[in-house]
Amino acid sequence: MLRVSKVDSDDEWVWTALEVRSSDFRQREPTGRFWSAGTDDELSDRQSVLLFDAVPAALGGDLRDKGIQYLDRSGNCYLKAPGLLVAIEGRRATRAIRRTDSFSRTGGMLSPAGIAVVFCLLMDSNLVRRPLRDIADTAAVSLGSVQRVVQELVDNDYIGGSGRHRGDLRRVPELTQEWAIAYGDRLVPRLGVARAEPLHGTDLRHLGDVLRRSETCTVSGEIEAADIRSPQTLIAYTDDDGRSASRAARLRKDPRGPVLLRDRFWNENLLSLGSSAPPLLVAADLLSMTDPRLKNVGRTMIQRIMRAS
């Protein structure tokens, strides 16, 4: 929340953040109304403020001429309320912001193949120094996709070195956050999700144990989150459209069932995640849910992972 006070009175103008994610700053053309501005009147009476990663001088001039309020990450802004005008221009984007903006536009990491590649690199820190063909096999994507994604990671300082002299992953907390946000938006819709239910109404926790012991899938979602006491769904990543998992746990397809069957987006024989999903995948799965309660748990888990990176 941004508050600006009048010099000669106790009045304040208040700009309140409605919903802002790091990816919202990445849009050259804002996708909606993210902020509202005005006095402490009702929210509906306030004007919209558009968020940008960076606003060039020409774009800023056009927005001001049209009376459109905006704010970018460098501090350039045009904010207007009764008795108040804040106009800042000419601040140049930092190297980090320019790099991030370029990264988002090219989209390699944020493509479905890129998301699979980055996940495998985050799961196996040694993989980044292996031949590109090994990375492609582990992420189950084409060699060309890996070449583009890895080069973009190098260009944006997520991987040290270059070519055959690639070093370790860098800026891992930031990369983790980028991956978690993109995963639900761009990869999950492509994973061939089907729903199922147990034939005999088995308790989900017991069902999770059965699936783990069967070694036919990788179990994820709220069933794997320690902070959720009464899970309502279970996610199972499989290699055969869920057939083996369905036989092992005696599942039947049901569009409203609590079991979500998804295609694995990694080569389990090479990455060896096992029957329980790693915390990063569990957190990203929770973030991809529509339930605000699950999203909050996912955010908390991501923050813990970032702090530990």
**Tens digit of each residue's pLDDT (9 = 90 or more) over 30-68:** 433 344 333 334 333 346 778 776 777 777 887 888 788
Torsion of CA 51, 56, 61, 63, to 10 degrees: -20
Mean of pLDDT over the chain: 80
Number of domains in the chain: 3
Is 302 found in the same domain as 251? yes
Domain closes at, from 145, 166, 188: 188
In a domain, 102, yes or no: no
What are the pLDDT digits (tens) for 2-37? 444 444 444 444 444 433 333 334 333 443 334 433
Is 303 found in the same domain as 200? yes
* Contact criterion met (CB below 8 Å) for 234 and 208: yes
Kindly report the CATH number assigned to the domain that includes residue 137. Answer: 1.10.10.10
Query: What is the Cα–Cα distance from 175 to 124, expressed in whole angstroms?
Result: 14
Kindly state the percentage of the chain with pLDDT values over 90: 48
Q: How far is residue 246 from each of residues 1, 214, 223, 235, measured CA to CA in Å?
A: 49, 10, 17, 12
Q: Which residues contact 205 (CB under 8 A, 6 or more apart)?
A: 223, 231
Q: What is the pTM of this model?
A: 0.67
Is 277 found in the same domain as 234? yes
Q: Which domain holds residue 39?
A: 2-88
Q: Across residues 120-129, what is the average pLDDT?
A: 95
Nearest-CA neighbor of 113 among 75, 147, 85?
Answer: 147
Q: Which two tokens stand for residue 144?
A: 């060309």
- Unique residue bearing structure tokens 């994820």: 220
In a domain, 94, yes or no: no
In a domain, 30, yes or no: yes
Predicted confidence band at 119 (pLDDT cuts at 50, 70, 90)? very high
In a domain, 177, yes or no: yes
Is 77 found in the same domain as 31? yes
Nearest-CA neighbor of 306 among 128, 115, 171, 121?
Answer: 171
Is 297 found in the same domain as 205? yes
